[in-house]
Amino acid sequence: MTNKKRVILVHGWEGSPERNWFPWLKSELEKAGCEVLAPFMPDADHPKLPEWLAFLKKNGWRC
């Protein structure tokens, strides 16, 4: 049994997981057998690290 690699793609300030190279990279990583999370992070216009980390943890990802 192999362990699937888990990847988190986090967009930046005012960003989106649907813009730039995020969709392409997500697709390539999935083709390579990775589990990929590319979420819409909360309040991307005014990000706060504690909120983003809590969001990722709530969705089952260790940070």
Number of domains in the chain: 1
Does residue 44 fall inside a structural domain?
A: yes
**Cβ atoms 17, 9 nearer than 8 A:** yes
Q: How far apart are CA 15 and CA 29, in angstroms?
A: 20
Does residue 13 fall inside a structural domain?
A: yes
- Using CA atoms, how far residue 61 sits from 20, 23, 25, 45, 47, in Å, is 23, 20, 19, 22, 18
pLDDT of residue 62: 72
Does residue 1 fall inside a structural domain?
A: no
pLDDT per residue of the chain (63 residues) written in tens, 0 to 9: 468 898 999 999 999 999 999 999 999 999 999 999 899 999 999 999 999 999 989 987 776
Range of the domain at 40: 6-58
Q: How far apart are CA 30 and CA 49, in angstroms?
A: 27
Quote the pTM value.
0.79
Does residue 52 fall inside a structural domain?
A: yes
Does residue 63 fall inside a structural domain?
A: no
Does residue 19 fall inside a structural domain?
A: yes
Does residue 17 fall inside a structural domain?
A: yes
